[in-house]
């Protein structure tokens, strides 16, 4: 079933009558599935469409940080179709030729391009910016930040925010990070729920930014944000800065976080829905995790191994395996898809 077939999803929801729904993918969240489910009396662990703009619009995110004086943005500017002549000047003079171009919408993780990595010149950056404007009406141009990146996901119910352990993701394929960016080749978390390269003040600031954003969203949209708020951060020389927000559990970050959860996940979800979220409802084991994805050799480029039979190892007691893009035939044999086949998490 197409995840954007809201009519069919609502039919299933009416038949099943669940206590609540968890909406995982970004497209139905950004498209307003939580609003539609609410109309038939089913609450969701996902924000309503207006609140989900924190992921679905890069410009909305930067504007809300600016409006509510949350000092976590790089130098940026949002351009529309009538400002094309000013693109070169902003990139070259204001940003010194080091820049990021962000598609102002959902693009499956492929809408952000960086100078020196995806864009080899200012002209290439300007051309991509123009393409973004043609497709979605505007584009965000930002200063390119330098530093280690990390993720901090929080459970949120309005102004009530409870944090999960910080995680670092590695997106590039191949040994030594020599390949192209992927959806994520693996992640790790540390036993102190911070990360080795972060100061105590860094993790405290990331947590503060998530709280400030949750409060700002409620003020801006007039509704409480209910669900997961995933902040993608970077530790720079001038402090922690926000790269972007997602409205969902990260992939593969959730594979690191949820196995450490020692409290009841359903209780947490119900507390989010009822506005009763508290710190003492959420407990994580003080353990470290490492997630490694198993993928087809040709991932992420070619799809020539789709359909090949695959067998996975038996994992030890302190590890878990989570299947991804695999299918099972009538004989119980597993076959590869074109994307990440499974995540193995060591704890």
pLDDT, tens digit (0-9, with 9 covering 90-100), for 88-128: 999 999 999 999 999 998 887 778 999 988 899 999 999 99
| Dihedral angle computed from the Cα positions of residues 39, 41, 42 and 48, in that order, rounded to the nearest 10 degrees | 40
Determine the average pLDDT of the residues in 75-79.
96
Find the helix packing angle between 58-67 and 200-221, rounded to 10°: 100
Using CB atoms within 10 A of its CB, is residue 39 exposed (0-12), middle (13-18) or buried (19+)? exposed
Determine the average pLDDT of the residues in 280-298.
95
Nearest to 261 by CA among 347, 329, 324: 347
Beta carbons within 8 Å of 161's beta carbon, 6+ residues apart: 154, 155, 207, 210, 211, 214, 229, 277
Q: What is the pLDDT of residue 117?
A: 84
pLDDT band at 304 (very low <50, low <70, confident <90, very high): confident
Q: What is the pLDDT of residue 93?
A: 93
pLDDT band at 246 (very low <50, low <70, confident <90, very high): very high
pLDDT of 180 higher than 90: no
pLDDT band at 158 (very low <50, low <70, confident <90, very high): very high
Partners of residue 142 on adjacent β-strands? 76, 100
Average pLDDT of the residues of the chain:
94
Q: What is the pLDDT of residue 274?
A: 97
**Digit-coded pLDDT (tens) for 22-41:** 999 999 999 999 999 999 99
Which domains, and CATH codes, for the chain? Answer: 1-55+65-70+147-285 (3.30.470.20), 75-143 (3.30.1490.20), 295-346 (no CATH)
Contact between 33 and 57 under an 8 Å Cβ cutoff? The reply is no
Tokens of 64: 């809300």
Determine the average pLDDT of the residues in 6-25.
96
Q: What is the pLDDT of residue 182?
A: 84
| Dihedral angle computed from the Cα positions of residues 306, 343, 161 and 225, in that order, rounded to the nearest 10 degrees | 10
Q: What is the pLDDT of residue 173?
A: 86
Q: What is the pLDDT of residue 229?
A: 98
Q: What is the pLDDT of residue 297?
A: 86
pLDDT of 144 higher than 90: yes
Q: What is the pLDDT of residue 176?
A: 84
pLDDT of 302 higher than 80: no
Distance CA 149, CA 339 (A): 24
Determine the average pLDDT of the residues in 51-55.
97
Q: Which of 72-86, 162-176, 205-219 is the most confident on average? A: 205-219
Q: What is the pLDDT of residue 303?
A: 79
Q: What is the pLDDT of residue 334?
A: 95
pLDDT of 183 higher than 90: no
Q: What is the pLDDT of residue 194?
A: 98
Q: What is the pLDDT of residue 81?
A: 87
């Amino acid at each position: 079933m197409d995840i954007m077939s809201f009519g069919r999803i609502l039919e299933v929801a009416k038949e099943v009558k669940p206590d609540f729904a968890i909406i995982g993918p970004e497209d139905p969240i950004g498209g307003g599935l939580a609003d539609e489910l609410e109309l038939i009396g089913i609450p969701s662990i996902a924000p309503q469409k207006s609140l989900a703009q924190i992921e679905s619009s890069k410009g909305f995110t930067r504007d809300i940080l600016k409006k509510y004086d949350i000092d976590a943005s790089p130098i940026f500017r949002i351009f529309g179709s009538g400002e094309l002549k000013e693109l070169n000047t902003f990139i070259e003079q204001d940003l010194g030729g080091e820049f990021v171009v962000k598609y102002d919408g959902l693009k499956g993780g492929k809408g952000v391009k960086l100078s020196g990595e995806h864009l080899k010149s200012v002209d290439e950056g300007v051309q991509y910016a123009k393409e973004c404007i043609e497709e979605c009406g505007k584009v965000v141009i930002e200063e390119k930040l330098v530093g280690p990146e990390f993720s901090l996901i929080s459970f949120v119910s309005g102004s009530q925010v409870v944090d999960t352990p910080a995680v670092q993701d590695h997106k590039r394929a191949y040994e030594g990070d020599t390949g192209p960016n992927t959806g994520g080749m693996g992640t790790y978390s540390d036993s102190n729920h911070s990360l080795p390269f972060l100061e105590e003040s860094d993790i405290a600031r990331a947590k503060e930014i998530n709280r400030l954003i949750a409060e700002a969203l409620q003020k801006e949209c007039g509704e409480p944000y209910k669900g997961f708020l995933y902040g993608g951060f970077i530790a720079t020389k001038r402090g922690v800065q926000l790269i972007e927000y997602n409205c969902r559990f990260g992939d593969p970050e959730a594979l690191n976080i949820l196995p450490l959860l020692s409290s009841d996940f359903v209780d947490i979800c119900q507390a989010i829905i009822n506005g009763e979220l508290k710190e003492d409802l959420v407990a994580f084991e003080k353990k470290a995790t490492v997630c490694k994805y198993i993928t087809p050799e040709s991932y992420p480029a070619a799809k020539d191994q789709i359909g090949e039979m695959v067998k996975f190892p038996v994992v030890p007691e302190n590890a878990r395996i989570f299947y991804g893009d695999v299918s099972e035939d009538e004989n119980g044999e597993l076959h590869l898809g074109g994307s990440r086949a499974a995540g193995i998490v060591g704890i």
